[in-house]
Amino acid sequence: MAERKPIESWLTDMDGVLIHEGTPIPGADSFIKRLRELERPFLVLTNNSMFTPRDLHARLNRMGLDVPVENIWTSALATAQFLEDQRPGGTAYVIGEAGLTTALHDVGYILTDAEPDYVVLGETRTYSFESLTKAIRLINDGARFIATNPDATGPSTEGALPATGAVSALITKATGREPYFVGKPNPLMMRAGLNAIGAHSESSAMIGDRMDTDVLAGLEAGMETFLVLSGVTRPDEIGRFPYGPSRVAESIADLVDLV
C-alpha cells in the first residue's frame, strides 16, 4: 500500500466532533487554535443546512471556538454551488431555513413556487404538510428533486429529530422520484470544500463521528480519515461497515498533536 503524504489540510465535522448538544467537546479549542497558529488550511463542515456560516461562526464563538466565517462549509453552500454549476440563474422551490435560502440567493437563484427548475429540500424544525404537498406536486409536474443531505435524524437535547433524509423519503414515496443528495457522504461536497481552501485530497484528512457520512465521504474523496467516538458511531458499530477509517480516536483531543 502506497505511503500517504503528510497531512497539510484538515476537514472536520462539527456536531459530535467539535461540539455536542451546544457545548464544546474537550480539546476542540486546542485543535482549532493549533490549526490557526500553524496556518494550516482547514474547514469545519456540517450537513446541517439551517444556518449561514455567519450564524455558525457566532454560535461557535460563544462556545470559545474561534472559527472564521471563511473556514465554515455547509451542505447549503455546497448545494448552491452545485445548482449554480448545473443551471446558472435558475429557479427553485425551497423547503428550509436561512442557511439554504441565503446560499441560493447569493448565487443568483430565484425562489419561487411557479414552475421551478428544482425542488430543494433542506433542514428545518418546522416541516409543514402544506410545503411538502407543494413540493410533491411540483416534482410530479417536472421539477428536479435535490436534497441538501441524507441524514435521517438530527440531534437535540430531547433526542433524535427527523431530518432531511427521512423527509425526502416521504416525498420519494409520494412521487417515485429519488432526490440527488449533495451533502456528505457525497464526495462532491468534500471536493468542493477542498477546492475552496486550495487543498489536495492526498495531503488532507477528514475527521468525523459518523461512519456512514463523514468517514465514507472522506474515503471516497481520497482523504485520510479519522473517526472520533464522541458522537454518533459507537465502537461496536465500526466493524459492521465494509470500510474502515484510517484511525479511531476517543475524541478530537487525541488529534491535536497530529496538526
**Domains in the chain: boundaries:** 9-47+184-258, 87-181
In terms of pLDDT, which residue wins out, 159 or 113? 113
User: What does the alpha-carbon distance between residue 183 and residue 102 come to, in Å, rounded to a whole number?
Assistant: 17
Is 15 annotated among the ligand-binding residues? Answer: yes
pLDDT of residue 2: 56
**Does residue 95 register a pLDDT over 50?**
yes
Tell me whether residue 117 is one of the annotated catalytic residues: no
Is 209 annotated among the ligand-binding residues? Answer: yes
Number of residues that make up the chain:
259
9-47+184-258 falls under which CATH superfamily? HAD superfamily/HAD-like (3.40.50.1000)
Q: Quote the distance between the C-alpha of residue 131 and its chain's center.
A: 23
- β-strands 224-228, 204-208 pairing: parallel
Question: Residue 20 pairs with which residues in a beta bridge?
Answer: 23
**The two domains 9-47+184-258 and 87-181 share their CATH topology (first three levels equal):** yes
Residue 89 is placed in which grid cell?
440563474
Q: Among 15, 117, 151, 214, which one carries the catalytic annotation? A: 15
What is 87-181's CATH topology? Answer: Rossmann fold (3.40.50)
Is 212 annotated among the ligand-binding residues? Answer: no
Residue 249 is placed in which grid cell?
480516536
pLDDT tens per residue across span 12-54: 999 999 998 789 999 999 999 999 999 999 999 999 999 999 9
Is 106 annotated among the ligand-binding residues? Answer: no
Q: Is 0.85 topped by the overall pTM?
A: yes
Tell me whether residue 15 is one of the annotated catalytic residues: yes
Of 29-33, 58-62, 190-194, least confident by mean pLDDT is 190-194
